[in-house]
Structure 1
Amino acid sequence: MELSWEVGALIGISDIHAAAERIAGHVVRTPTVESPGLTALLGAPVTAKLELLQRTGSFKARGATARLLTLGERERAAGVVAVSGGNHGIALAVMAAALEVKATVVMPRTAPARSVEIVESAGASLHLTDGMDEAFALTARLRGEGLTLVHPFDDPEVIAGQGTVGLEFAEDAGELTDVLVSVGGGGLITGVATALHALRPGIRVWGVETEGAQAMSRALEAGGPVPVELSSVVTTLSAPSVSQLTYDHASTLVTEVLLVSDRDAVRGSLELAEHAGVWAEPAAGCLLPAARQVRERVGDGARLGLVVCGRNATVADIMGWADRFGLR
């Protein structure tokens, strides 16, 4: 199936509904729950979309599946390739295996050990590089050899798949004023913001980045995608730049992209465990310090929604970061 996407067009709610129909039965409709623990912690009603309970441990299974199901026979036979800081690679490896498509995954050596193990156990061909820039370069070469790229965020079908998170959130949550979404390359926030603005007019959508993984905030400052230096421990948010597609959506639909430190992101993971009873990676933990910023700005009328995006960090990972930042 050939993609027929007009360059410069924005994703629409009809695209997300179509993706939802396509991936139904392949992914999980994850729970949307009110959290008394986080409500008490943040001083405002909190509803969480528990995408960490998704198949493969993160929302990435949605976009990967949406794209894989559009492949033609020749593309399926040649195989697919993806570059990833962890979760997109896991999703592509696992979902491609389920759909009997050969997958190649390129990740930096800094990717979580759990991600490497899962990709290999799923049967994908794995290449490790010295950094994300090198990973993207190798992926481009492999694409030139005939593999079909399943980009983590610069692909309308992937974004529409991620947008099904927002579709379900809008359908299942009570009243919300502000929704917080983690940002790497921008695929998740693009899809979620598109769905929420279509179905919940007036809602504010806030992005959250960690220091040293600031691709979207720098793009918004510059007026378009720019390369950024990466230094955050949160490799799953570490895109070397956003795409024009995700920038165009964020500049139109996102209220602001908030910045938090790695230390606060790791502390957020510990707080999610203690106050919400969920084990989430720092890419989701960063939502809590950002939620405090939103709560202070919005005031007493805030009703917060959190997209808890993934769980693919081990106890050893989190405890190691906690020791590094003096959180124990």
Structure 2
Amino acid sequence: MADQVGIADIETAAARIAGGVVRTPTVPSPGLSAALGAPVLLKLEHLQRAGSFKPRGVLAKLASLTDAERAAGVVAVSGGNHGLAVAEVAGAARVDAVVVMPRTAPARSVAAARAAGADVRLTSDIAAAFAQAGELRRAGRTLVHPFDDPVIVAAQGTVGLELARDAVALGEPPTDVLVSIGGGALISGVATAVHALLPGIRVWGVEPVGAEAMSAALAAGGPTPVAISSAITTLSAPSASQLTYDHVRALVHEVLVVDDAAAYRGTLTLAEHAGIWAEPAAGCLVPAARRIVERHPDARLALVVCGANADVADVVRAAAQP
């Protein structure tokens, strides 16, 4: 595990991206606490620029490039949020960007990435998107990988650094932190940070049924391809990476799996009880939190609200499905 990220890497990343991202708040949620029957803190990363945590990693990665690499341009593959972040950050930095997305990516993310100046290319599925991004990398572009990069993991870990420091300042350190998993960069970085600052904490990952890349990796003893059937495209990585698998295996208490319908209902619960609009990638934390409270009635929870890029009509329609 030569590439495993440490707290010093995360602190370095925090200094590197300072001023380029929003320092999002961590707040208690009385409404969600009442609904779940346990104290709840929310890390409001859905307020980040581009509507998700992703710009942290992208900004750190672009800052690490040489002049020649910046001139050659970058390429990214994404189910939505990562591509949007690459488009916005690269556009602001005047770096040419190609973003490859599956056709199932949210239309709003595709449109926003194009509006930010990226060359957005659509493929049949996420596996084909990764394949095309690989071709563009071999042609000379730098790949801004959504999760298989220590620079990205360290920068996403700044979410956990802020959460832990804010929780201590509030006098409400959690016993359990919940983080959604796509490819695993966010949970890898957050788990590294909170374990360093809040000893004894439990970190839980959450995946949707039909996008269980990390659960499959843990069961197989290493990254393995999975078939994607979940409608939650922002969590639909076709495989974990060795980097993220190693972090999760070492630092995450357990990965819970919830179905899409429960995730969409969780989004509505966050709206109704916490007064925030989040995407289903964050909504999936709510049913997982209920299960944790059932197991640990004295739990104090912290939920990382990872993004807000979801259409209201789509969520309401999906939540109504039996």
Q: TM-score, normalised by structure 2?
A: 0.98
**Contact 2:164–2:173 (Cα < 8 Å) also in 1:** no
What SS class does the counterpart of residue 311 from structure 1 fall into?
coil
What SS class does the counterpart of residue 77 from structure 1 fall into?
helix
**Contact 1:8–1:245 (Cα < 8 Å) also in 2:** no
Counterpart in 2 of 1:181?
A: 179
**Contact 1:268–1:285 (Cα < 8 Å) also in 2:** yes
**Contact 1:79–1:148 (Cα < 8 Å) also in 2:** yes
Q: CA deviation at 1:314?
A: 1.3
What SS class does the counterpart of residue 280 from structure 1 fall into?
coil
- Cα separation, 2, equivalents of 1:320 and 1:84: 24
Q: Does 1:41 align with 2:35?
A: yes
2:282 pairs with 281, 284, 306, which one? 284
Q: TM-score, normalised by structure 1?
A: 0.96
1:251 pairs with 249, 268, 273, which one? 249
- Cα separation, 1, equivalents of 2:50 and 2:226: 28
2:317 pairs with 311, 317, 320, which one? 320
Counterpart in 2 of 1:3?
A: none
The residue correspondences of 1:15-94 to structure 2 (distance < 5 A) are: 15-94=9-88
Counterpart in 2 of 1:121?
A: 115
CA RMSD of aligned residues (A): 0.8
- Cα separation, 1, equivalents of 2:10 and 2:319: 38
What SS class does the counterpart of residue 209 from structure 1 fall into?
strand
The residue correspondences of 1:137-156 to structure 2 (distance < 5 A) are: 137-156=131-150
Q: Does 1:227 align with 2:221?
A: no
Gaps of 5+ in 1: 1-6
**Contact 1:204–1:255 (Cα < 8 Å) also in 2:** yes
CA offset digits 1:279-301 (Å, max 9, x no partner):
100000000000001111112x2
CA offset digits 1:77-124 (Å, max 9, x no partner):
010000000000000100111111111100000000110011000000
Q: Deviating runs (4+, > 3 A) in structure 1? A: none
Counterpart in 2 of 1:4?
A: none
What SS class does the counterpart of residue 216 from structure 1 fall into?
helix
Q: Does 1:130 align with 2:124?
A: yes
- Cα separation, 1, equivalents of 2:87 and 2:317: 27
What SS class does the counterpart of residue 98 from structure 2 fall into?
strand
Counterpart in 1 of 2:271?
A: 273
- Cα separation, 2, equivalents of 1:213 and 1:83: 16
1:99 pairs with 93, 100, 104, which one? 93
Gaps of 5+ in 2: none
- Cα separation, 2, equivalents of 1:231 and 1:259: 14
**Contact 2:267–2:277 (Cα < 8 Å) also in 1:** yes
- Cα separation, 2, equivalents of 1:322 and 1:248: 34
